DNA sequence: TATTCGTATTATGTTATACATATATTATGA
DNA sequence: TCATAATATATGTATAACATAATACGAATA
């Protein structure tokens, strides 16, 4: 049973999708360019309109094409992120991917420093200052942790980095962040103040003003310490269990 | 014209998609759980099977459900990334998003340090060593830059970080990286050796072995310097032009 | 008794056709 | 000339029918 190769089990829609992508590339179509009508594809590819529609629907779902109601379809710049916001609901996800996404947020915030410093403007700094002041006024008693303020501050950082895809990502990760946060708040809160090197939003902001990407990364690492700790501590717990 | 509200312009498929998602949440369905048949939805929602199919197809395209051929559909853990690899072809993308994605890669590699150090194993280090040695042997004359070796090394780092979503991301960014690299190679290559603080793969590897996340981030920043520079220099060029 | 084969069942995959509806263009009428 | 109406067009939706693959179950065979 060696010289016999498996037949392709691809569905017609699969094949048509591939053909469509080839067509776009071969004809060097770019975002904004109109594409042929469903019926034209039906003729040239020799399959039913349903199949064409399903293949096109996939590409639409992924944001590669857009249908101008009743007038035709055009290629579009795929918005990689926003399509997923529809389905990325923590209540629909398994714990594995939630963990991955939460980690991804930490990675992004640790990694964005250079862009932050390169692209910050005076206006950005003023707005950031306002956010911090607002936050300090509201919970001057420091007795509770406000998720809104947390999001306002960190969201502003993403905005300063001025990368649309990155910002879209933050929007995507927001519900995950909320979800994980709600589950862990008590411990988080305790940790924040038991840590010897707690870094506040104000300290981060000052760092952006007068520091360097390098100093900022270290500050951010301490700011995020509770999250890193909770991830790593749990892993150590699990591994020590499995060793027994 | 105040008391009249705009009618919803959503298509039937849009509405059905929303209903399906609500259904999944309300019934607390999780990845792995089977979902009702197309015809059952047809009856309970009162629309044609066509519409049900299109709505389900969207969710399949996004990776939220999976169809077991001819046996039904189940909820799945959405693979956020891999679905996009189909359409994320540099030749189909505009320059804006390409730039964003390239930047994203830099952010990820700068931000992953803590996970790298937390999760590295002896096996990982051995494999990384092998990659570096292999690379050094092949282009001992240092006269050319091998994309393959670059990918092997950095890909291994993603792997060590042990975050599936992150690894998927790297796969996604790979064609973008290749594309940008091919366009910029001459300058890149020159830059690598004109910079005073060039950090090789070997130096990065040694850092992973004996350093800390902090030292590694600094090393990685220097390793990626050519890329950061090319992005920031171009921005400064553009802004100085627009000021004139 | 256990294995294999055939068959019924079932749900998705595919085709075909018709009609609905929104948009742009063209034709019509005052 | 201008507003209105008719028309063409492309996608959106509905319906019916058949194809096909996966599974389960029962019959045939050793």
Largest Cα span, chain A: 76
Per-residue confidence (pLDDT) for residue A1, from 0 to 100 = 42
Pairing mode, strands B72-75 and B65-68: antiparallel
Does strand C come within 7 Å of the CB of A5?
A: no
Answer whether any strand D atom is within 7 A of the Cβ of A71.
yes
Q: Which of A15-29, A99-113, B39-53, B134-148 has the highest mean pLDDT?
A: A99-113
Burial of B216 (0-12, 13-18, 19+ CB in 10 A): buried
CATH architecture of B12-78: Orthogonal Bundle (1.10)
| Best B33, B88, B111 residue to mutate vs chain A (most A CBs within 10 Å) | B111
B155 CB near a chain A CB, below 8 Å? no
Tokens of B158: 């993603």
Contact list in B for residue A24 (CB cut-off 8 A) is 92
pLDDT band, very low/low/confident/very high, at B128 (cuts 50, 70, 90) = very high
Strand C reaches within 7 A of the A54 CB: yes
Per the model's pLDDT, the better-predicted residue between B17 and A3 turns out to be B17
Q: What is the pLDDT of residues A42-92, one digit of tens each?
A: 988 989 999 999 999 999 988 889 888 777 899 988 876 777 777 778 888
For residue B132, name the pLDDT band (cuts at 50, 70, 90).
Answer: very high
pLDDT in tens, A85-120: 777 788 888 788 889 999 999 999 999 999 999 999
* pLDDT of B46 strictly over 80: yes
Beta strand extents in chain B (DSSP E only): 34-35, 65-68, 72-75
- Evaluate whether B32 touches B74 at the Cβ level (below 8 Å): yes
Burial profile A138-147: b = 16 or more Cβ within 10 angstroms, e = fewer: eeeeeeeeee
Mean pLDDT of B226-237: 87
User: Taking Cα atoms as reference points, which of A153, A159, A161, A155 lies closest to residue A117?
Assistant: A161
DSSP lists the bridge partners of residue A65 as A75
Determine the residue of chain A that is closest to B99 in CA distance. A163
Q: What is the mean pLDDT of residues A189-213?
A: 80
Confidence at A125, pLDDT banded by 50, 70, 90 = very high
- Angle, in degrees to the nearest 10, between helices B95-111 and B225-243: 140
A82-235: in CATH 1.20.120.530: yes
Could you say which of A89, A94, A214 has the minimum Cβ distance to residue B31? Answer: A94
Tens-place pLDDT, residues B163-194: 998 998 898 888 888 887 777 665 555 555 45
**Percentage with pLDDT > 90 across chain A:** 44
Q: What percent of chain B has pLDDT over 70?
A: 86
Least confident of A55-69, B29-43, B79-93: B79-93
How far apart are the C-alpha atoms of B16 and A92, rounded to whole Å? Answer: 17
Q: Which residues of B touch A221 (CB under 8 A)?
A: 114, 213-214
What part of A 34-93 touches B (C-beta under 8 Å)? Answer: 50, 53-54, 57-59, 61-64, 75, 77-78, 80, 83-84, 86-89, 91-93
pLDDT band at B87 (very low <50, low <70, confident <90, very high): confident
Read off the pLDDT of residues B6-24 as tens digits, 9 standing for 90 and up: 456 678 888 999 999 999 9
In this complex, which of A75, A83, A111 lies closest to B111 when CB atoms are compared? Answer: A111
For chain A, the structural domain boundaries read: 12-78, 82-235
Short-list A170, A242, A229, A168, CA closest to A198 = A229
């Amino acid at each position: 049973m060696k010289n016999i190769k498996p037949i392709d089990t691809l569905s017609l829609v699969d094949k048509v999708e591939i053909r469509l992508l080839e067509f776009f590339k071969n004809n060097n179509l770019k975002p904004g360019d109109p594409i042929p009508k469903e019926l034209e594809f039906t003729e040239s590819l020799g399959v039913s309109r349903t199949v064409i529609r399903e293949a096109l629907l996939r590409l639409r779902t992924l944001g590669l094409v857009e249908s101008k109601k009743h007038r035709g379809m055009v290629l579009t710049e795929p918005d990689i992120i926003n399509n997923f916001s529809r389905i990325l609901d923590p209540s629909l996800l398994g714990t594995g991917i939630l963990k991955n996404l939460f980690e991804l947020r930490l990675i992004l915030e640790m990694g964005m420093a250079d862009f932050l410093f390169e692209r910050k403007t005076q206006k950005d700094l003023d707005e950031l200052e306002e956010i911090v002041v607002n936050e300090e006024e509201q919970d001057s008693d420091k007795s509770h942790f406000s998720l809104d303020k947390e999001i306002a501050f960190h969201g502003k950082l993403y905005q300063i980095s001025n990368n649309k895809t990155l910002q879209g990502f933050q929007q995507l990760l927001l519900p995950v962040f909320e979800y994980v946060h709600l589950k862990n708040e008590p411990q988080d809160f305790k940790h924040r103040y038991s840590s010897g090197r707690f870094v506040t939003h104000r300290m981060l902001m000052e760092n952006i003003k007068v520091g360097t990407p390098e100093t900022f990364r270290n500050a951010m690492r301490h700011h995020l310490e509770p999250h890193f700790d909770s991830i790593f501590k749990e892993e150590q717990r699990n591994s020590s269990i499995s060793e027994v």
